[in-house]
Structure formats: structure tokens, C-alpha cells
Structure 1
Amino acid sequence: MNKHYNFSLKARFTPVFRADEAASASSYWFIFQGEKLLTTVTENTSNSICTCSPEQLGLQPIFSQFLGRYGSTNCFVAEVGDNVTPAPSLRFKGLRSLFGTVEEDIFSLAGRAIQILHWNREHQFCGKCGTAMKIRTSELAKICPACGFVSFPRLSPAVIMSIIRKDHILLARAPRFPPGMYSTLAGFVEPGETLEEAVKREVREEVNVRIGNITYVASQPWPFPHSIMIGFSADYVDGEIEIDDDEIEDAQWFSLRNLPVLPSKITIARLLIDNFVLGSA
């Protein structure tokens, strides 16, 4: 039986859009330089997120925004320029590298923060008339003061699926993967498709096998840069593997005894594979 994984935050997150509504409680500041997040340097392998504003740290932000409250803690995102050098006790680190060294909820909140940052970078001007956009205070959106066009943060839905044939799972590798690593198939949903149709199409395009019994498992926000991964399991029906050379370089059936190098536990891909392992053990 499938185990459903939960990527939701343990505490409630309340989106708030006006900085003057920030409670006088503690705060998390997700301060980015490019794609890297500012953390404190510690003697062990753990990392801590800043609880002070950029100005309090002697840094001049080029953008900042109140995101909302995680429980009773205010959450802000800010960006500083490439020429900014933090104090020796602080360091900018790639977001992916922080998995496992910060609390899971903090990692998820950082992912939320960087998606808002990407949206701000990419929507400075109106796509209809070119006027500089203004942030709305009633919702997470930007509005053009000239023509009234409203822009919301973009999400790109993608399906990701484990394909099971009795005691084997179909895994593939892309050229960009680390040596020896295989993962589940995945792809973006196209306009007009249901999620199930996207699963069937991606499997057909990438490995040319037919599947059935498509079952939803879990979803995961994936802020690299703005996806939502929707995970499914499916049963193999028929067909021989024929890979799409433009997408992947190899695909194979793996048993529990000969699994290859697997994706990090940060990913829903790994959790789909873990479902197979639990079901086959």
C-alpha cells in the first residue's frame, strides 16, 4: 500500500501582504544574493537563518518584502547586490546545499521566499504596456498603474512518476545527473492536459511504454525556480523501453537488490522510489 508523504509545513503559514501588519514578534529574514541564502556560520554542520534585517546587519537591500507569518514568527525576503560582503560570521550558501542542515520547515520557507524573489526579478515591468509594476497590498500580486494589468507569481506544474512492473521500478538518467544516478521520469504539464494525461504522455515520449492504474501520491513545491511537482505511481502495461535521446541517456528496470545511486531525500523523486522499496521489502 502506498505511503503518502507530506511536504506541508508543521506550523501554519499565514500570508500577509502589508509590512506594517508585521507583529512585534521574532522574525526570519531570508536574505539572498543571487541564488544563495545568507546563513550564520557555526562550528558544527548546522546552519541558522538570519533573524535581523539587512539594515541591522549593515547590508543595503535592493528589494525586500513581507511574506507573512510562520506561526507567530514574521517572515521576510530580501535581496542584496553581488558586491555586498557580509560579516565574517555570515555566509551566502546555495539553497540546495542547506537541505539537512536547517530545519525542514525553514528550508520550505526559504523555497517560498526565493520563488517570490524570482517573480519580482522577472516582473519588474508590465508585459502589456511596459510600465513599471507596483506591488499590491491586498494580495500577492503586482499591478500596472497605467493599464491595470495584474501579475501573480508564476507556477509551472510538473508531473513525476514511478512506474512499477511487479518487483521492478523504471528509472532513467539525464546527462546532467551525477555519475551513476538514476531517477523517476518527470515532465511539465502542457496547456489543456489533465495531470493523468501528462503522466501518460511523458512516459510515452521518454521511454515509449504504456502504463495504467495512475495513482496520486504526493506533491512538493520545487523552487528551482518555480515548479510544483505532482507525484504519481503507475503500473507498467506493455512495451519495450525506447529512450528519447533528447531527454534522457539511459533507462532501465531496477529491482530492490540492484538499485543505482538515487536522488537526495530532499526530492519527491526519492520518496516515490522509497514507496517502491517499502512495497517490495
Structure 2
Amino acid sequence: MIQPDVLPQPQTPVFWIMVEGNQVIDTLDREGQFSPPLLPAEQVPEANERYTARIGEYEGIDVFLFVREENTPMLETWALKPLRECLLASTEGWFNLAARGCQIAGFLKTHKFCGQCGQEVSQDRDELAVVCGYCGLTSYPRISPVIIVGIYRGRDILLARGVRHPEGLFSVLAGFVESGETLEDTLHREVFEESGITVKNVEYISSQPWPFPHSLMTGFIAEYSGGELTLEPEELEEGGWFDIDDLPMTPPERTIAGRLIREIQSRIHARSD
């Protein structure tokens, strides 16, 4: 449970997810691995002046969020690291906590005024929310659900390069859930809109928070059912069916896209054995 606007107990070392924009503080204690500060609040510059909250725990130790400003002092052993780099250099647990911290910081930054009457809001002390003292509206952090699906056909997997993907990087299909849709509705609609095909045997695999800025990726795999592959040019630059043992560059395994691709590879290899 998130405990908003609190500090840890005096002289108690806790982990700190220190957020500045979409960057987090890394102590560089472990080369190549994300390692947030472990300190009591008394040793954290301006801890009493900035927004802090308890956002979870890691290996039995409390984890606190600290929302930095650009001029907030830094210790010599600290460095700002982009959150996307953190994904590649951390455990799933640390990435999820860092993602939570960045999403909370983003929520507080973008919800300073009431969306109903325009008056300034205040933070709720009991839950993660902001409350308008004028009209009474309570606002909570926005979470945008997204489906992401790996599609297979025999030994092939469908991969495409989105218009915002780096050159040469291919991934699976994804899209936002629209109002009134189930996840399954979204999956079938997005697959058809982006590729012109239909799928069957849809199976949920796992999910991943994706704080760019506030998505929740829900991962599925599905089997090709029918239709001719026709890519949506406004969304996808190129793509096609690739043999599972001859893939182009794909997202790292720590991303949910990479996880879905490896899941399909594993299942097809198991069938072939």
C-alpha cells in the first residue's frame, strides 16, 4: 500500500527512489546494476522539504519516493539515470518500484488544479489522491491499460517496426484500450487494425507497468487465424512473419515484449522436440 506524504522513522535506513522528471538516482554501487540509495532521512538532502511517500519494500526494507527539483543537492556518489536505462540494469522488482515512483511524481506534477472547477487542489493524507476543497472532486493517478500480443503461425512470429521504434528494432503488436472495451475486444480490434489479420487461442501471459507516462501493459500470445497481412502505414514502418530461429533485433527480455517473444520461441521449440 502506498502511504502518501510521509517520512521514514528517525535514524532508519530505507531505500530511496529519487525522481527528477523521468530520471532516477543511481548510487553506482554495483556496476551495471541499478542501485538506489539506502540511507536514513537525516542523510538525504532536503528530505524534509520535498514530497516523500512510502511506496513499497524491497527485501524487507521500506522503499520511499523522493520527488526532486532540478536544484536539489546530490551526494558525490549519486548520478541521474534515465528510467529506460534502469529497466535494462535492474531486477523486475526495482524497475516496478522506480516505475511507480515516476508515475506518482508525474501525477502530482500534472494534477495541481481541479479538472472540474479549476481551483488549486491539496493532497489527500490518507490515500494517493488530490482533493479540491472548493467543489470536492477527488482525483486519482491515471493508469492507461494497453494490450500487447505476440502472434504465431506455425514456426513464425509476427514482428513489426513501429514508426517510433529505433531503426532495425522489431517488436510485437500493441495498442491502448478504448472506453467500454474488454482487453480481449482491444486485442482483436488492434490486431486487425494494424495488420489486417484475425487471431484465435488468445492466452494471457503477464503484465508490466510502463511509466511512459502511465501505461499498464497486459501481455498475451495468440495464434494466427486468417486474413492477409496488411500493415497500417501510420503505425508501422515495416514487418512480417519471421522464423523463430531467425529473428531481427527485438526488445530485451526484461521488457514484456521480449518476454512474449521468448515465450513463443520456448513453446514452439518444445513442440518440435
Give yes or no for TM over 0.5. yes
**8 A contact 1:61–1:81 mirrored in 2:** no
1:223 maps onto 2:211 in alignment: yes
Could you tell me how far 1:130 is from its partner in structure 2? 1.6
**Aligned position for 2:114:** 126
1:249 maps onto 2:237 in alignment: yes
Could you tell me how far 1:185 is from its partner in structure 2? 0.1
In structure 1, the residue corresponding to 2:148 is in which secondary structure?
Answer: strand
In structure 2, the residue corresponding to 1:258 is in which secondary structure?
Answer: coil
* Distance change (3 Å), C-alpha of 1:231 and 1:204: same
* Distance change (3 Å), C-alpha of 1:56 and 1:271: same
* Distance change (3 Å), C-alpha of 1:260 and 1:31: same
In structure 1, distance between residues paired with 2:187 and 2:34:
37
**Aligned position for 2:140:** 152
TM-score normalised by the chain length of structure 2: 0.89
Q: 1:1-281 alignment to 2 at 5 Å?
A: 14-17=1-4, 19=6, 22-23=8-9, 25-42=12-29, 44-52=31-39, 56-59=43-46, 63-70=50-57, 72-84=60-72, 86-281=74-269
In structure 2, distance between residues paired with 1:43 and 1:205:
44
Q: Which runs of 5+ in 1 are unaligned?
A: 1-13
Could you tell me how far 1:112 is from its partner in structure 2? 0.8
Give the CA RMSD over aligned residues.
2.2
In structure 1, distance between residues paired with 2:77 and 2:55:
27
* Distance change (3 Å), C-alpha of 1:53 and 1:173: farther
* Distance change (3 Å), C-alpha of 1:122 and 1:53: farther
Q: Which runs of 5+ in 2 are unaligned?
A: none
Identity of aligned residues (%): 35
- The alignment covers a number of residue pairs equal to 267
In structure 2, distance between residues paired with 1:205 and 1:37:
36
In structure 1, distance between residues paired with 2:239 and 2:91:
34
Could you tell me how far 1:234 is from its partner in structure 2? 1.2
TM-score normalised by the chain length of structure 1: 0.87
Could you tell me how far 1:227 is from its partner in structure 2? 0.7
* Distance change (3 Å), C-alpha of 1:31 and 1:55: farther
In structure 2, the residue corresponding to 1:49 is in which secondary structure?
Answer: coil
In structure 1, distance between residues paired with 2:49 and 2:168:
41
**8 A contact 1:28–1:75 mirrored in 2:** yes
**8 A contact 2:26–2:80 mirrored in 1:** yes
